[in-house]
Structure 1
Amino acid sequence: MVVWTSAWLHGAAASDDVLDAAQAWAEVHQVCAADAETATRLELPEPGETPAGLALLLAAVRRAGGGSGGLALPVAGDVRGLDGASEFSRHALRRGEAAVFPDARLGLVPERHVEGMLRWTIHQIGELAPAEHVPVGEAEHGMSSAMREAASTLTELDVSRRRPGVRGEIAESVSARPQPSWPEGVPQRCLRVLQRSTELEAILRVAADDAPGGAVSASADRVRSQALNPLFESVRTARRAAVDEMVRVLRQRAEQH
C-alpha cells in the first residue's frame, strides 16, 4: 500500500493500477475514519457507518496533501514510525503494521476482519518518532547474516527433530503470503530483500512456535526469545529499507519528468 499509493501520488501509477494491485491482499477493501473529526476532514465514513471503498482512501490522502509514504512495523519496545501516545500508535502497535503519510498527517492501519476483506482505518497523526535510514544494501547484508543465524538457531533449538516436516511448514508459510505486483521501475534488489525477509520470517516463526516440543522451561524460553528477537528486528529493518528505497526511486523518477 505504501509503495503503490506513493507511486500514484507522484504520477508513476494510475489509480486503477493501485486498486488492481490491492486485490493480492484481499478481494474487498473497506475504508473508514478513526473518529468523527477525521471523517469530516477527509469526507470519509465515521466509525459505525457503511465503509467506503479503496478509491476514496486514495482521494482522501491526496486531498490531505499526501506525498511519499512510509512503512511502520512497530512492536513493544520499538515504536519507530509512530507518533507517541496516540490512538493511532496504539492501534498500529496492536496490528504490528501501518502506512504513514507524514505530509498529509495521516496513518493507515489495516485489519482483517473476515477472510477476503481488509479494513483500513484512517487516523490523523502528529509528529512521527524519527526512524533511522538504513540503505537497502546494508539491509540486504543484514538479512544474509540473519539467515545464517536463523539456520544456526534452528539447529541449536533442535526444531527439526522435535517437529518433523518443519521444512514443509516453512515453505507453506512463504507460499501463503500474498504476491502483489509492483509499480514499473522499482529496484529488483528491493524485491529480492522483501522475498528474503518473507523466507526468514517463516523460519523464525517456526523456531518461535510454542507448539509441543518447544521450550520446556521458562529459562529455555527466555534463551530462545533472546536469540530470535534480533533476527525478527532484522526482518522489520529490511522491509522498511526496501519500501523506503522503492518510494525514493519512484519519487526521484517523477521529479526528473
Structure 2
Amino acid sequence: MCSPSATLTLWAGSWLAGTSAPDDVLEALHAWASRHTIAAGDPVTGGRTDLPWTSHEAGTGSGAMPLLKVIREAMAPAGAQLRLVLPAPGDVRGLPVGTAFAADAIDAEEGLLLGVPGQPGTGLIPQWDDDETLQWTVYSVDIPRVDGPDMSLGEAEYTMRESVRDAADALMRLHTTALGAGDADPREQIEDQLAAYSRHAYPDSIPLRAKRILDTADHVAAILTVAQHEPASSPTSASALDSHESLLRPLWNTIREARLVAVHTASGRLD
C-alpha cells in the first residue's frame, strides 16, 4: 500500500459497502502509525465538526475512531463518492483549485475527498507529527467534478506490467552512467522497499485485478525509489539531474494513474 490515504480509501470503501468492520479499518490505519489524531483545518470546519482547529490547538488524541464518524457523515448524501487524490508537481487534477485542502494535499502528495461532486463536502489529509503520530486534518471543500480516468482497469494492468521492465531498465541505465559505486545491493534495497509496502493489507473484497495492479505498482515504485536514492545513481551535474528526472518522472506519473484507477475501482467509485 502506497500511502495512508490509499489505505483509508480502500478500507473505508469496504466498510461502507458492508464487507469490512470498523475495527478492520482501524487496524489497517494502525499499520501506519500507533497513534492517530484528528483536527480541523480551519475554524469553520472546527465549528461544523466540533474538532480542534490545528492553527490553535493540538489534534485530539482519541485515536482513529473519530475518522469513521467524519467519513460516515460525509458519505451520507445520495451520490456521495470517496475519492483518493495523489497530486504531484504539475499535476493537480481532481483538486478543488485555490483551497487550503489543495495546497496541503500538494505538500503531502496525498489526500481524500468525500461527498457529492459539485456540492460541499469534506477533505482529509494525513500529516506526520512525529515518527509515531499521524494527524488527519479535516477540510470543508466543494467537491470538484472530474472526468473519468485516463486509462481503464485493463489498460492500467498492462501498463504496470510494461513499467516493471521500464523501471528496471532505468535503474540499470542510472547505475551504468553514475560516477561512483554504492556498496548496497540494489536488489536487496528493492526487497526492503517491497517488504515495507507489504506490511499494509488489502480488504478481502478488493477485486483481484485491482490488487494485481496495486502490487505491481508497488514493485515499480520500489525500483524507482532505489533508482532515486541509491548513491551510485546520484546526479552529478545539472544536465545529469535533468536526465535523471526525465527518465523517472513519466514512470512515477504512470504509477500514480494506475493506483488511482485501481483504488477507485476497489472503493466502488468506478464501474
Superposed, 1:175-214 pairs within 5 Å as 175-177=195-197, 179-209=199-229, 211=231, 213-214=233-234
Matched, 1:37 2:70: no
Identity %: 31
Q: Which range moves more in the overlay, 136-145 or 155-164?
A: 155-164
Q: 1:88 aligns with which of 89, 96, 101?
A: 101
Q: Tell me the residue number matched to 1:163.
A: 182
Q: 2:139 aligns with which of 118, 123, 139?
A: 123
Give the CA deviation at 1:12.
Answer: 2.9
Superposed, 1:34-113 pairs within 5 Å as 34-47=41-54, 48-51=57-60, 52-66=62-76, 67-103=80-116, 105-113=121-129
Matched, 1:215 2:235: yes
- Report the 3-state secondary structure (helix = DSSP H, G, I; strand = E; otherwise coil) of the residue aligned with 2:205: coil
Q: Which range moves more in the overlay, 225-234 or 5-14?
A: 5-14
Q: Tell me the residue number matched to 1:255.
A: none
Calculate the TM-score normalised by the size of structure 2: 0.84
Q: 2:161 aligns with which of 123, 144, 164?
A: 144
Q: What letter matches 1:194 in structure 2?
A: L
Q: What letter matches 2:107 in structure 1?
A: R
- Report the 3-state secondary structure (helix = DSSP H, G, I; strand = E; otherwise coil) of the residue aligned with 1:183: coil
Conserved? CA contact 2:227–2:233, under 8 Å: no
Distance in 1, Cα, partners of 2:231 & 2:262: 32
Distance in 2, Cα, partners of 1:151 & 1:184: 30
Q: Tell me the residue number matched to 1:235.
A: 255
Q: Which range moves more in the overlay, 140-149 or 205-214?
A: 205-214
Distance in 1, Cα, partners of 2:159 & 2:64: 35
Q: Which range moves more in the overlay, 118-127 or 98-107?
A: 98-107
Q: Which range moves more in the overlay, 202-211 or 233-242?
A: 202-211
Question: Runs of 5+ in structure 2 lacking a partner?
Answer: 1-7
Residues 1:65 and 1:199: Cα distance change in structure 2 (over 3 Å) = closer
Q: Which range moves more in the overlay, 229-238 or 122-131?
A: 122-131
Question: Runs of 5+ in structure 1 lacking a partner?
Answer: 253-257
Q: What letter matches 2:139 in structure 1?
A: H
Q: What letter matches 1:23 in structure 2?
A: H
Q: What letter matches 2:16 in structure 1?
A: L
Residues 1:65 and 1:71: Cα distance change in structure 2 (over 3 Å) = closer
